[in-house]
């Protein structure tokens, strides 16, 4: 090999997936071994929030006698039928013992039919069956007190499973805030908000709140079943968790306060200097100009001027008409009143036919239109009158 070739330095820790492969275990078996404390882990210092397995721990487990069968036997689980066979009892008696809380389940899942399946450790079932004090429960008649509890509908399987999960979470908790998060994982959010009133502390507790195995069903049709399993239901259980949560939060608050957003540092606000208000300027009212009196149009010598639309300019009435005062019976004279008549629109100025020709007389225009209506040839004087200015006619040349 080349002198420059070197082997990478092996890390002191590895991920859970790699540790499971090196120990020859399935991932489900390895996760259960972590929960039961058979495999020790350390927190991930990289900020991921997970757990890592040290190489020394892997070497310790590999050095045990009968590895890997001994480690896998410690995490082997069975259902109700197989568990009854291991204990050499009927499946009905096995279910009654589990409902009374004498057999603690280690895993739980909801199958495709919506039924809850409880799994138990084979090693614990063998120890329970081998104990001499449990012979009456396995072979004889169930005591009367236990039969009364079963008649009332007692079922402690979910509660015992939660307590096992809580013990696992508390073992992995490194500080009081992490313990508070583990306790909050089993309580409803309303109860957590009632105990941890500060919003920043509550947000920090929820961030450290680990996810339980059954909570992965959120959003499915069996989410309500998983919620009943993973959340405390009994009153005494809720009160016990609330008390422990309040104590953990007080201890954590005294040790290290919850992180809070840094406040913005702003400089002192400078207020503008007050200035005196200037006196109001004197208002000058402009004089009102009188309304101009309309001038009556003068009539030409030929009579009233006729506009292009046929109306006469001389027929327009003045805008203000004087009313002759009359006497009031009994003496006196009535005041003079003026009535405003309707305004008369002024006559439009005639527009020349040809550009630059200037205004033409109204009488010539009427004569030309009359000749055009009769279809007779225009006289020479008419033709000469319509010639554009600046152009000379043929007769003149």
- Report whether 171 contacts 40 (CB < 8 A): no
The predicted model scores a pTM of 0.61
Q: How much is the pLDDT for 160?
A: 94
CA distance 25 to 376: 124
Q: What's 278-346 look like in SS3?
A: CCCCCCCCCCCCCCCCCCCCCCECCECCECCCCCEHHHCCCCEEECCCCECCCCCECCCCEEECCCCCC
Helix-then-strand count for the chain, H and E: 17, 8
CA distance 10 to 82: 43
Q: How much is the pLDDT for 114?
A: 82
Q: How much is the pLDDT for 157?
A: 94
Residue tagged 């500080």 (tokens)? 175
Across 187-200, b (16+ Cβ under 10 Å) vs e yields: beeebbeebbeeee
Residue 276, token pair as written in the block: 């005196």
Bridge partner residues of 327 (DSSP): 333
Tell me the mean pLDDT per 10 residues along the chain, length 397: 42 85 89 88 72 89 87 92 93 93 91 89 93 87 88 92 91 89 93 93 91 63 81 92 94 90 64 66 56 56 48 47 52 51 57 51 66 62 50 46
Bridge partner residues of 83 (DSSP): none
Rounded (5°) CA angle 188-190-193? 115
**CB neighbours of residue 94 within 10 Å:** 23
The torsion region of residue 393 among left (phi > 0), alpha (psi -120 to 50) and beta comes to beta
Q: How much is the pLDDT for 120?
A: 96
Q: How much is the pLDDT for 158?
A: 93
Q: How much is the pLDDT for 1?
A: 43
Q: How much is the pLDDT for 370?
A: 75
Question: Which residues, other chains included, contact 229 with Cβ-Cβ below 8 Å and sequence gap of 6+?
Answer: 108, 116, 158, 161, 162, 214
Q: How much is the pLDDT for 278?
A: 63
């Amino acid at each position: 090999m080349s002198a420059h070739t070197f082997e990478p330095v092996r890390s002191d820790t590895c991920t859970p997936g790699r540790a499971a492969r090196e120990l020859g275990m399935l991932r489900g078996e390895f996760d259960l071994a972590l929960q039961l404390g058979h495999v020790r882990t350390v927190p991930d210092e990289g900020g991921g929030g997970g757990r890592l397995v040290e190489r020394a721990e892997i070497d310790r487990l590999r050095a045990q006698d009968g590895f890997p069968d001994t480690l896998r036997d410690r995490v082997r689980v069975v259902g109700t039928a197989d568990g009854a066979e291991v204990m050499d009892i009927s499946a009905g008696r096995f279910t009654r013992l589990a409902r009374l809380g004498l057999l603690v389940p280690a895993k739980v899942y909801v199958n495709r039919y919506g039924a809850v399946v409880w799994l138990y450790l084979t090693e614990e079932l063998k120890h329970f069956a081998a104990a001499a004090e449990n012979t009456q429960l396995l072979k004889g008649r169930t005591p009367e007190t236990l039969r009364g509890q079963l008649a009332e509908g007692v079922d402690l399987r979910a509660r015992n499973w939660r307590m096992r999960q809580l013990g696992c979470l508390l073992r992995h908790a490194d500080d009081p805030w992490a313990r508070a998060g583990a306790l909050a994982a089993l309580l409803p959010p309303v109860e957590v908000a009632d105990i941890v009133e500060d919003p920043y502390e509550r947000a920090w507790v929820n961030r450290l709140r680990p996810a339980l195995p059954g909570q992965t069903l959120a959003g499915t049709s069996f989410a309500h079943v998983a919620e009943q399993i993973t959340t405390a239901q009994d009153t005494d259980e809720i009160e016990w968790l609330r008390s422990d949560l309040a104590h953990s939060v007080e201890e954590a608050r005294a040790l290290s306060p919850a992180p809070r957003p840094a406040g913005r540092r702003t400089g002192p606000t400078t207020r503008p200097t007050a200035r005196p208000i200037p006196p109001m300027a004197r208002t000058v009212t402009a004089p009102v100009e009188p309304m101009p009196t309309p001038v009556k149009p003068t009539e030409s010598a030929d009579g009233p001027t006729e506009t292009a639309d046929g109306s006469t300019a001389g027929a327009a009435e003045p805008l203000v008409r004087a009313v002759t005062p009359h006497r009031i019976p009994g003496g006196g004279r009535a005041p003079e009143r003026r009535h405003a008549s309707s305004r008369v629109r002024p006559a439009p100025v005639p527009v020349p036919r040809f550009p630059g020709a200037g205004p033409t007389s109204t009488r010539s225009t009427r004569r030309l239109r009359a000749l055009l209506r009769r279809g007779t040839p225009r006289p020479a004087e008419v033709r000469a009158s319509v010639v554009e200015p600046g152009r000379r006619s043929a007769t003149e040349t």
